[in-house]
Homo-oligomer: A and B are copies of this chain.
Amino acid sequence: MARIIVVGGAQMKAEPYEGRVPLVRRMIEMMREAKACGCDIIVYPELALSPFFVLEWVDDLDEVKHFYEKEMPGPETRPLFEEAAKLEIGFYLGYAEYVECSNKAKRYNTSILVDKNAEIVGKYRKVHLPGHADYKKDMPYQGLEKYYFDVGDLGFGVWRSMGGVMGMCICNDRRWAETYRVMGLKGVELIMVGYNTPNSMPWDTTFDQLTYFHNHLVMQAGAYQNSTFVAGVARVGKTGECDLIGGSAIIAPSGEIIACASSKEDELIIGRCDLDLAQKYKQSMFNFEEHRRIEHYGIITEQIGATAP
């Protein structure tokens, strides 16, 4: 028996940033294309509704408050939900989220999982914020996620939806083995991840040529070691001084890349995912119950930083 879900990845060009309304129109076009290709769900990038504003410093966070969503859907994003309901297609969407909690402003780098009835069934807030919180002089651009966002407070959830167990994470989360393992322990079968990844990290350019390789390496290992599909979708191309990598990819539980973008443009990638395959290793090589040895893992949750012997 096979449990097929056809996953579309909507790689999207970063520039020109045209504002929410034209952007949502572009997303709807890609959604229709995905539906025409038989997709059950379409994955959009991280922070898909705003520019990648973490690259620049502002003195007052209110200067960028218009980039955050206060409601989802709001007036400008509702057409995306309406189209999804009409087409009966699910989606993953990343965006900047603003909420007030006990009169305190909270800002998250967020993604939602929306099912084929256009119902929001899951929400995730980015846990692994990369970069820094302070202004770095002499860098061609900043990496200010720790300034613009609070650390996600929802953990790594999974949701039974569209015939499988769905999980989400965002960008830098994919580099951390814990991200996949927490969802793996909850039986995840498809992890969706949007990303904006600068080809060059100004604070250490040693490995710039490897950025594209690392993108795939971590998703392939996470998929294999947890026997899950992974769909990683990029926002690409120049944004100010920064060049974002592409390489959007859908990866099987074997670690194999089954679909991959070959442009740095708007590009739909399509993966036919048999979720039953995700059970293969879960029942043998990566049968956690039989093989994991938590008595030797304690330091992973006891200790944050590394200590030398």
Contact = CB atoms under 8 A, between A and B. Distances in A.
A255 B213 CA distance: 9
Given A127-B293, A130-B285, A284-B203, A303 B218 contact: no
A292 B307 contact: no
Given A203-B284, A217-B220, A289 B306 contact: yes
A294 interface: yes
A11 B290 CA distance: 30
Given A187-B306, A225-B218, A255-B214, A301 B291 contact: no
Contacts of A297: 178, 182, 300-301
Chain copies in the assembled complex: 2
Given A210-B255, A218-B221, A254-B207, A288 B306 contact: yes
Contacts of A187: 306-309
Interface stretch (A45-53, A112-120, A158-166, A236-244): A158-166
A156 B254 CA distance: 27
A292 B280 contact: no
Contacts of A217: 217, 220-221, 224, 255
A74 interface: no
Nearest to A302: B294
A285 B204 contact: yes
Contacts of A298: 301
A289 B307 CA distance: 10
Q: For the complex of A and B, list the 5 residue pairs with the smallest distance between their C-beta atoms, beginning with the closest.
A: A289-B305, A221-B221, A177-B177, A187-B308, A204-B284
